[in-house]
Structure formats: structure tokens, C-alpha cells
Structure 1
Amino acid sequence: MTLSSKERAELRAEAHHLTPLVHVGHQGLTDPLFQTLDDALRTRELVKVALAKTTDLSAKAAAGQLAEKMGAEVVQTIGRTVTLFRENPDIKRKKGDVPPWRG
């Protein structure tokens, strides 16, 4: 799934008020981190990931690796914070429903 620029802009606006749910530490990208991120994307769809200053990865490199491994789209990268989106087809939505990341 590829996001259009309009969809990406809408998701950036929604993500502005989110706090990072997943933190990448000095150990970098580990299997437990991938599991935590997978759980967060499954329930919330839109997730911010914060990279510690002690990690060896750049934010752009980490964003690419996380998106590829999780099957997600990179919404934006600002400083050491990455925002990812992965739609969950199991979440049933009706018009006017509150998005899961606001819940």
C-alpha cells in the first residue's frame, strides 16, 4: 500500500499530537522491539517511534528498516522520531468512527 501525498499529510496532522509508543535504545532494532511495534501497529495503525541518541542508526535508516520489516509506510521522519502507518483490515470502521490512534 502506497500513501498519496494527501493521505500522508492527513496522517502527519493526526500524528502531531501523538507521543512515541516505541523507543529504540542502544541495542538497536531487536526482535522484541519488532514484536512491540507490530502489536502497536495492529491496535493503533499510526505509531511514533523514538530513537535514543545512543543508537548507532540514523532516523532515516531506521525508518526504512522498520517500515520494510513491519510492512508499514513511513509517514514522516523528524529529528530522531519516526512515524509509521500500517492499516489493519481487521478493524471494522463505519463512517464517522474515531480512528484507533485517537483511542
Structure 2
Amino acid sequence: MTELTPAQRRDLRARAHHLNPVVTIAGNGLAPNVVAEIERSLQAHELIKIKVQGTEREQRDALMEELCATLDASPVQHIGNILIVWRARREEDKPAAAQEKKPVRAATAKSAAAFAAAARRAALAKASTESRRSPARSPAPRGRGTGSRGR
């Protein structure tokens, strides 16, 4: 569990203010599937709110300590039934085959070809709409006496 300085805690509280709870802990407590969901949320967002239902303050404090110890997270704030937890995003281990990069030239040539094709389609669409218009037509005159009522 990482200790946060008061300034870091204040910043995290401000960032968490607009967040909605992503996980709700009810009567079953910290079931393995709840812990797994909190783990996924921390990996995705780093800062999350957790709603706890049906427990007293001492139980919520113990739940916060257990949760932070289990997930190696830091407690940010505990207000009422809402717990705010932070953990830095962990680096994921990927297989070596997935980390190999393709040549940059192939990717650039492919995107350049796609860009050129899109430009050609846009030019053809513009040319076809211009050929449908009548060339010598001028807009109707504006002013008095052009209405159908004949005022």
C-alpha cells in the first residue's frame, strides 16, 4: 500500500469528485468476483469510487483497509457509504510475439494509399454534383413585386 502525501490526497479527492461509483459492495462483502472487478477498474481508471451498502462505519473502515491491502492500493477518502481508492496503473506483460512491431514504411504507405483513395472519391463526388447543375441559371430577382400575390 502506497502512502499518499496530503497534497496528493487533496488532488485525488478533487479529481474523484465528479466520478460515479463503479462497484457496489453489498452483503457478501469482498467476494472474489467483486475483488476482480475492482482490480479491472483500478487498472483501467486508477482512481475509482466504491459504494458500500448495509454496514456500519467501523465495518466500512475495516473493509477499506482490507481492500487496499489486497489490491496494493491507497485509500484516498471515506465519506459515508462511498470509498475512494487509487492505485497507479500496472504495466501489463505481453507475449514477445505481440510486442514485435511491423515496419513503419508499410503502415505509412498503407495509410497514404487510403488517404489518396479518399481524396479521389471526394473529387469525383464534387465533379458529379457540379455537372448536374444548369450552368446559365441565375438566382431569381429579389425585391418588390416578385411575390405571387402581386401587391
Counterpart AA for 1:4: T
Quote the residue 1:87 is aligned against.
88
Shift of 1:30: 0.6
CA RMSD of aligned residues (A): 1.7
TM-score under structure 2 normalisation?
Answer: 0.56
Alignment of 1:1-103 (within 5 A): 1-53=2-54, 55=55, 58-90=59-91
Shift of 1:58: 2.0
Shift of 1:90: 3.2
Name the structure where strand makes up a greater proportion of residues. 1
1:4-52 deviations in Å (ceiling 9; x for gaps) = 1000000001111111001001111110000000000000000100001
Counterpart AA for 1:33: V
C-alpha distance in 2 between matches for 1:85 and 1:65? 14
Once structures 1 and 2 are overlaid, which stretch shifts more, 82-91 or 65-74?
82-91
Contact 1:59 1:81 in 2 (8 A): no
1:17 partner SS: coil
Quote the residue 1:101 is aligned against.
none
Structure 1: gaps spanning 5 or more residues: 92-103
Contact 2:43 2:90 in 1 (8 A): no
C-alpha distance in 1 between matches for 2:50 and 2:40? 13
Counterpart AA for 1:74: P
Q: How many residues align?
A: 90
C-alpha distance in 1 between matches for 2:18 and 2:5? 21
C-alpha distance in 2 between matches for 1:30 and 1:77? 20
Q: Please list every run of at least 4 consecutive aligned residues from structure 1 whose deviation after the TM superposition is greater than 4 angstroms.
A: none
Shift of 1:59: 1.6
